A and B are shown apart, each in its own frame.
Chain A
Amino acid sequence: MEKYFDASYIWNSIPVLLPFLKVTFLVAGSSIVLGTIFGLLLAAAKLSSIKLLQRLANLYTTIMRCTPSIVLLFLVYYGVPALAENFGINLHSIETAIFVVVTFTLQFAAIMSEVIRSAYLAIDKGQFEAAVSVGLTPLQAYRRIVFPQALVIALPNFGNGMIALLQEGALAYTIGLIDIVGKANLIIASNINAHALEIFIALAIVYWVLSIIIEKFFAMLEKFFGKGKKTLETS
């Protein structure tokens, strides 16, 4: 009799799955880089004194927060080529990974804009003024005084955002990206749907370990950059 559950499938599938992490990382990494840049612009818009820019940036963040990743993913996947077609551009043959990166860039930018904004606001304005008054140029004041402090505040949220992005990225398989989840589904399909549970458990283990590593890494970074920080001991 065949067993319903065979743990050996878990250990055997992990080595097969791991090479496909490369795709996951590549997509997540590009989204993080592009999303941070775009998020910085959004945060700048939110902090600017122009009302219209503020409104637009806030509206964008609200919309992104209210849209499930999977919906955004499909909207980009089907919507962008359809939109481009109106202008006579054919986008049907470009790589799926591009659509995934676009989607998660849009989403990560919304998260990052809030992270950056709150970190910036947490720094007392007096610090900048004091720096300028002792003769630093505004750029120097930002670089030497405001930025290092804001970075420490932003780090934990940035780490959480990254973990969230990695997890939402698991949905990329739905539009046919062969990342680690996509590969897992291929393995299951080639087993004629038997032992799906074991493969999924293997996937969960991979993601779990990754998240713990990222968490630990950011805790370390925070300790490193937070050397000069003096606040109440809360933990």
Chain B
Amino acid sequence: MNYQFLVETFFVALSGVPIALLVTIVAMFVALPLGFLLALTRINKIPVIHHMAKIYVSFVRGTPIIIQIFIIYSSIPLLLKIILEKYNIAYDIYKINPIWYAFIVFAFSTTAILIEVFRSALSTIEKGQLEAAHAVGLTTFQAYRRIIIPQALVVAMPNICTATVNLIKATSLGYAMSLPEITLKAKVAANVGYNYVEAYIDIFIVYLILCSTVEYIFKRYEKHLSKFKVAKA
């Protein structure tokens, strides 16, 4: 065991945290509203979109994320190439920063997870609540904003937490897109002297700290939100 390397690489791994967090935040930023809207289409059974959303969720849940990465990472350049050639735009597609692929892949998979999270959370809210809100003169939008979403959010929070932690963990697969995040950075550092054991211990510790912090923040927020929770009769 090379202790000096262990300590040095820990900071190398730590320097990958901003990228991992950036990818997580951007993916969540896209996935939260999109997942919510698509969950609404699933609940209200809006034709076509609701079926497409169902297939989409089934696909994402049914395939390993690494394969989703492979597919998106190899199909987007192909599509871009065809489009660029068609319109004669000179742009080197191999210069695209891999982080854009990471945004797309992780937003794509997280949206599907969140559709299911929101769908199950919304279905715990009784329909009578919306009707009651309508009866007292709120618009549907107001009813959702003031009555339904605050309650559904309390129910959804633990699952959103799990989805976020899973997303952070999934960014470790960014190496397949040569995204310089935690795992790749430490692995590259280890390549020089074959110090893989030390490197992976570092990566392990970094993820442990990162994920338990995120979990802790969510727990605090859940406590705060549970003020809105009404005791079941």
Contact = CB atoms under 8 A, between A and B. Distances in A.
Interface string B44-73: 000000000000001101111111101100
A74 interface: yes
A70 B207 contact: no
Nearest to B65: A167
A5 interface: yes
B66 A79 contact: no
Contact of B211 (A5, A65, A181, A204): A65
A71 B62 contact: no
A71 B67 contact: no
B74 interface: yes
Which of B65, B66, B75: most chain A Cβ within 10 A? B66
Which of B70, B75, B169: most chain A Cβ within 10 A? B70
- Range class of the B interface residue count: 35 or more
Given A68-B183, A71-B172, A203 B204 contact: no
Interface stretch (A130-138, A193-201, A217-225): A193-201
Interface string A66-99: 1111111011001100100000000000000000
A68 B66 contact: no
A71 B58 CA distance: 27
Given A68-B207, A79-B200, A212 B62 contact: yes
A79 B1 CA distance: 10
Interface string A183-217: 00000000000001100110110011111100000
Contact of A74 (B64, B78, B169, B196): B196
Given A168-B64, A200-B67, A208-B58, A66 B208 contact: yes
Contacts of A12: none
Nearest to A203: B67
B169 A170 contact: no
Contacts of B78: 4-5, 197
Contact of A170 (B66, B74, B75, B196): B66
A75 B74 contact: no
A163 interface: yes
Contacts of B62: 163, 207-212
A63 interface: yes
Contact of B67 (A75, A78, A170, A209): A170
A201 B67 CA distance: 8
A75 B65 CA distance: 20
B97 interface: no
A196 B1 CA distance: 39
A66 B211 contact: yes
A31 to B, nearest CB: 15
Contacts of A78: 196-197, 200
B170 interface: yes
A161 B78 CA distance: 35
B53 to A, nearest CB: 16
Contacts of A5: 78
Interface of A: 4-5, 62-63, 65-72, 74-75, 78-79, 82, 163, 166-171, 181, 196-197, 200-201, 203-204, 207-212, 234
10 contacts: A63-B208, A66-B210, A67-B208, A71-B204, A75-B204, A78-B200, A82-B197, A181-B66, A207-B64, A211-B63
Q: Which 6 A-B pairs have the closest CB atoms?
A: A66-B211, A211-B62, A170-B64, A68-B172, A167-B64, A68-B169
